[in-house]
């Protein structure tokens, strides 16, 4: 075997080794890309979860910090509970075959996560009422945090105590998201639907929804 043949064989073997190394590197890069994508997805999910939890904690703090008289608390509670009952009732009207499986609003909120039919109906009802998920989060938080010390006032009783509930809310509720949600609750009960401005549509947050008491 002459030198040229030997050199050619050595060159081919060297090229094979290089090719194998390149293939190995390509596999490693693909694995790194896959790992990177997984980490990015987990990071984004974690970030959203933290942001949602932070917003929910802020809402809870805002509700607990409200300085209200018993009369003021009862008035706000009355609007909140009437909206929640209204939403639950409308869901049952549209899903009569699921009445037994949806005994409370909390059950609706749980079932809509995995049940597309319930979710579609729920979203359509929110749209009809001019509400969004962020409003439900705020109203449910108010119900859970303050409802145990409140009682329901009928519309006639509310009118006897206060003429302008909008002034009460804007004056006493400093958290903007909570204030907006309570104002929309009043609109739903008194006018049948909340009116949402374009600016508030953009700023509305969709957060995790706390469970409602049975």
* Residue 213 falls inside a structural domain: no
pLDDT score for 182: 97
The pair of structure tokens assigned to 177 is: 């998201």
Give the integer Cα–Cα distance in Å for 194 and 187.
Answer: 5
Range of the domain at 52: 16-65
The three-state secondary structure class of 166 is helix
Give the integer Cα–Cα distance in Å for 22 and 73.
Answer: 71
**Is the pTM higher than 0.75?**
no
Same domain, 154 and 97: yes
Same domain, 126 and 52: no
- The one-character DSSP state at 148 is G
Same domain, 76 and 122: yes
Per-residue confidence band for 50, with pLDDT thresholds at 50, 70 and 90: low
Same domain, 74 and 104: yes
Per-residue confidence band for 213, with pLDDT thresholds at 50, 70 and 90: very low
Same domain, 116 and 149: yes
* Residue 199 falls inside a structural domain: no
Same domain, 30 and 121: no
**pLDDT tens string 127-165:** 999 999 999 999 999 999 999 999 999 999 999 999 899
Whether residue 90 contacts residue 125, with contact meaning beta carbons closer than 8 Å, is answered with yes
Same domain, 86 and 101: yes
Burial 200-213 (b: 16+ CB within 10 A, else e): beeebbebebbebe
Give the integer Cα–Cα distance in Å for 200 and 187.
Answer: 15
Same domain, 89 and 142: yes
Q: How many domains does the chain have?
A: 2
């Amino acid at each position: 075997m002459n030198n040229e043949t030997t050199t050619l064989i050595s060159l081919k073997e060297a090229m094979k080794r290089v090719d194998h190394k390149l293939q190995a590197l390509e596999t490693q890069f693909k694995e790194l890309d896959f790992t990177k994508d997984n980490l990015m997805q987990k990071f984004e999910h974690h970030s959203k979860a933290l942001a949602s939890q932070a917003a929910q904690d802020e809402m809870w703090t805002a509700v607990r910090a409200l300085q209200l008289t018993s009369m003021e608390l009862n008035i706000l509670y009355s609007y909140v509970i009437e909206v929640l009952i209204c939403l639950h009732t409308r869901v049952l009207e549209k899903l009569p075959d699921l009445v037994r499986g949806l005994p409370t609003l909390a059950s609706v909120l749980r079932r809509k996560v995995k049940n597309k039919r319930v979710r579609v109906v729920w979203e359509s009802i929110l749209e009809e009422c001019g509400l969004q998920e962020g409003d439900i989060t705020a109203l449910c938080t108010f119900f859970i945090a303050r409802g145990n010390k409140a009682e329901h006032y009928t519309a006639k009783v509310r009118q006897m105590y206060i003429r302008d509930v909008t002034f009460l809310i804007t004056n006493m509720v400093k958290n903007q998201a909570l204030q907006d949600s309570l104002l929309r609750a009043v609109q739903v009960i008194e006018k049948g639907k909340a009116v949402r401005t374009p600016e508030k549509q953009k700023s509305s947050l969709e957060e995790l929804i706390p469970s409602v008491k049975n």
